[in-house]
Structure 1
Amino acid sequence: MLTKSSPISTQSNLFHSELFSQLDVKDPLIQLANTINWTVFDDAFEQHYSQDNGRPSKPIRLMVGLLLLKQLENLSDERVVLQFKRNPYYQYFCGYSNYMPGMPCNATELVHFRKRIGVKGFNLIFKMSVALHGKQAQESSVLIDTTVQEKTSLTPLMPNLPLKSSIALISWQSVMAFNNAEPMLKRLKTAALAFVTSAMLKSVPKQKALTRLRTIANKLIRELQRKLPQYLLFEIYQKHFLFYQRVLAQKPKDKNKIYSLHEPDVYVIAKGKDHKQYEYGNKVSIVSTKDTNIIVGVASHDKNIHDSKTLTVAISHANSNRNKPIKQAVCDRGYVGAKVVLGANIILPKKALKRDNRYQRDKKRKLCKRRAAIEPIIGHLKSDFRLSRNLLKGQVGDEINV
């Protein structure tokens, strides 16, 4: 059942002082809380709640405020709930007029709220943040660049996936009370130990141990398919078996490989630098204004496509958050091939044309130099605002984290 967010009262209380009278009114969080139109979120998200039955929910302003603080302060769900208890500025930001000594909610309620509002809800929050900047976010010229949002998966190694697949299949056998779960686990440990001990030796025993791991996993799949009832096999577990068979059959030089069992949509992006040649995650587009450096659009891409093909999604998302369409986008040489996208001229660094005069050449050179301003913005997003490591699951988690 929906709990309405109560507005903060400025009237003084006879028995205790209000939070607003004890805090610094010039603090950025206080000013931001007074600037945001919180009723927009109440009106947009009330459709996700029942109106007359069920347990009373937490106020929508509290949940939205905690999500904003989580991103602003680079905190986990558990930490932002704990900091709310200790920090009165957090409590005022989330709509509390009096100090509350307890926890506002359980950390898992933030997970449920993210699933409840979905990607559309986070797009609304992002659009509100762009609208706070007013005319400064309406520049006709923008800067666009791509980066990689890495996932929390281990660096892919060939024995990891067969080993983890076998462990998952053995756990199924244990749950279903099949007899050969323990002997298979013993064989699996022996094969895994053989691979570890042969890792420093020649490649022949190492490859032999890896083949043994795959053999055990395939045998587990065949036994489960033979012993499971037909209705369970085809209605529930068939897609899981097909997934594990694909993992075990893939080779190092195959395309569209699976790098993680719990994140099968992760793909590899070649970085081309000595300290980190490859990154595992998904590609992200960032759109910022040219002069004021305000981020007006973001886009998450589920496939490793060429940069020039990411412009349509990035520019359309930026246009949806603004009143004026983008007329000019400055990009780097990775966007070669794009000229005009959704009415926006794409400016790329290249040799000056012979017909250009001195003024036109200087203008293009100045624009291309200005493009470098988006690089530190991406660096701050990664180091300070949770873009370097995505902890949310699936493609929906990729879009929400961006």
Structure 2
Amino acid sequence: MEGDLYKKRIAYPEFVDFYLPFGGRLRADNRWVQMSRIIPWKEIEPRYANSFSKKKGRRAKSVRVALGALIIKEKLNVTDEETIMQIQENPYLQYFLGFESYQEDPIFEASLMVYFRKRLGSEIIAEVNELIAKKFVEKKQSKKSDKKDDSDDDQDNEGQLILDATCIPQDIRFPTDVGLLDDARKKLEGIIDTLYAESGLKKKPRTYRIRARNQYLTFARGRRRTRQQIRKATRQQLQYVRRNLKTVKELIKTVPMSTLSRKEYKDLLVIQKAYDQQMYLYREHKHSIRGKIVSLSQPHVRPIARGKARGAYEFGAKISAAI
């Protein structure tokens, strides 16, 4: 279907109208039904829609489908492919995503999950948190105002509050300090190549890229790495990154900064900050710092403690819900 890339959807299915072809009806106390009432889909949708172009093209999925699918994946702790199968088989999940009746066929392809994670960046997720918290406060205040005095009960009973939190993970490899520095070194080598091509210099600045890469691969292939080996590999990569940053600064004296693409310029700024952080951690013998960069391509991503069996941390934006 051709049209605006994103069309705002203001109609949301009523719980009692959800159609089940095999008979029966959904339970109102189901966790997915209750959570669907807490999340302020209508308030989130305009922010999500603004991330799309006004040009014509294939129409995008609604924010309820996109955000809802990511929440389902994390709460069930399954893969993208398994998430699609769960949605296909479970009418409660389909209602949670905003469908008016049960769909027997897959709702969408698993590859769209990557697209959803890209569209729902950290700013939108932060706004989701604020809207959920605001809605919960309004709901609680409304209950207090409507509550009548009970002469037979000396103590008010406001019910039970259930809080839950989940993470919208980003598609990044598991971060390590040495791996991050290796990525920084390689990106700096590309920046140096770009600047050198416009510099007119006869001799290309040395980067020791082959030696640096071999040293990193030797470290990465090791199975049981000691603390001394980790510090040695970190020191080596820090030295290469520092040398490359110095080379870039020298080249910029003769070549305008506009020679770099927007991506290269952004990478350079992120790398400089990441290098400063890693140098501080190395000198202070520490492993964490506030605002630590774990991905050069997505510097906004932060580690979130989850305590799951498959990993103590996940990397992405955090959302919360209360019922």
CA-CA distance at 1:101 after TM superposition: 1.1
Q: Does the C-alpha gap of structure 1 residues 104 and 177 become closer, same or farther in structure 2, counting only changes over 3 Å?
A: farther
Paired position in structure 2 for 1:22 = 22
Q: Does the C-alpha gap of structure 1 residues 184 and 96 become closer, same or farther in structure 2, counting only changes over 3 Å?
A: farther
d(CA) in 1 for partners of 2:23, 2:192: 59
Paired position in structure 2 for 1:92 = 95
CA-CA distance at 1:245 after TM superposition: 4.5
CA contact under 8 A between 2:32 and 2:93: conserved in structure 1?
A: no
d(CA) in 2 for partners of 1:401, 1:31: 14
Paired position in structure 2 for 1:230 = 256
- RMSD value, Cα: 5.4
d(CA) in 2 for partners of 1:209, 1:86: 48
CA contact under 8 A between 2:182 and 2:237: conserved in structure 1?
A: yes
CA-CA distance at 1:188 after TM superposition: 1.1
d(CA) in 1 for partners of 2:219, 2:161: 58
TM-score by length of 1: 0.47
CA-CA distance at 1:97 after TM superposition: 1.0
CA-CA distance at 1:108 after TM superposition: 3.1
d(CA) in 2 for partners of 1:112, 1:196: 28
What one-letter code is carried by the residue in structure 1 that aligns with 2:240?
I
1:7 aligns to 2:20 (yes or no): no
What one-letter code is carried by the residue in structure 1 that aligns with 2:250?
R
Aligned pairs (5 A) from 1:59-138:
59-77=62-80, 79-94=82-97, 95-104=99-108, 106-115=112-121, 117-125=124-132, 135-137=158-160
What one-letter code is carried by the residue in structure 2 that aligns with 1:111?
R
CA contact under 8 A between 2:73 and 2:80: conserved in structure 1?
A: yes
d(CA) in 2 for partners of 1:123, 1:189: 44
CA-CA distance at 1:47 after TM superposition: 5.6
Instruction: Return 5+ residue gaps in structure 1 as ranges.
Output: 12-17, 143-149, 268-280, 284-380
d(CA) in 2 for partners of 1:35, 1:155: 32
CA-CA distance at 1:20 after TM superposition: 2.0
CA contact under 8 A between 1:194 and 1:209: conserved in structure 2?
A: no
What one-letter code is carried by the residue in structure 2 that aligns with 1:400?
I
What one-letter code is carried by the residue in structure 2 that aligns with 1:3?
R
Q: Which has the larger radius of gyration?
A: 1
CA contact under 8 A between 1:38 and 1:61: conserved in structure 2?
A: no
Paired position in structure 1 for 2:295 = 262
CA contact under 8 A between 2:301 and 2:315: conserved in structure 1?
A: no
What one-letter code is carried by the residue in structure 1 that aligns with 2:189?
I
Q: Percent identity?
A: 13
d(CA) in 2 for partners of 1:230, 1:383: 49
Q: Does the C-alpha gap of structure 1 residues 174 and 85 become closer, same or farther in structure 2, counting only changes over 3 Å?
A: farther
d(CA) in 2 for partners of 1:125, 1:223: 48
What one-letter code is carried by the residue in structure 1 that aligns with 2:124?
I
**3-state SS in 1 of match to 2:20:** helix
Q: Which runs of 4+ in 1 moved over 6 A?
A: 150-153, 193-201, 205-210, 263-267
TM-score by length of 2: 0.56
CA contact under 8 A between 1:30 and 1:93: conserved in structure 2?
A: no
CA-CA distance at 1:166 after TM superposition: 2.0
d(CA) in 2 for partners of 1:208, 1:36: 51
CA-CA distance at 1:400 after TM superposition: 2.9
d(CA) in 1 for partners of 2:38, 2:48: 17
Q: Does the C-alpha gap of structure 1 residues 166 and 136 become closer, same or farther in structure 2, counting only changes over 3 Å?
A: same
d(CA) in 1 for partners of 2:27, 2:15: 19
Equivalences, count: 268
Q: Does the C-alpha gap of structure 1 residues 64 and 253 become closer, same or farther in structure 2, counting only changes over 3 Å?
A: closer
d(CA) in 2 for partners of 1:114, 1:162: 27
CA-CA distance at 1:52 after TM superposition: 12
**3-state SS in 2 of match to 1:136:** coil
Q: Does the C-alpha gap of structure 1 residues 120 and 175 become closer, same or farther in structure 2, counting only changes over 3 Å?
A: same
CA-CA distance at 1:90 after TM superposition: 2.3
CA contact under 8 A between 1:156 and 1:260: conserved in structure 2?
A: no
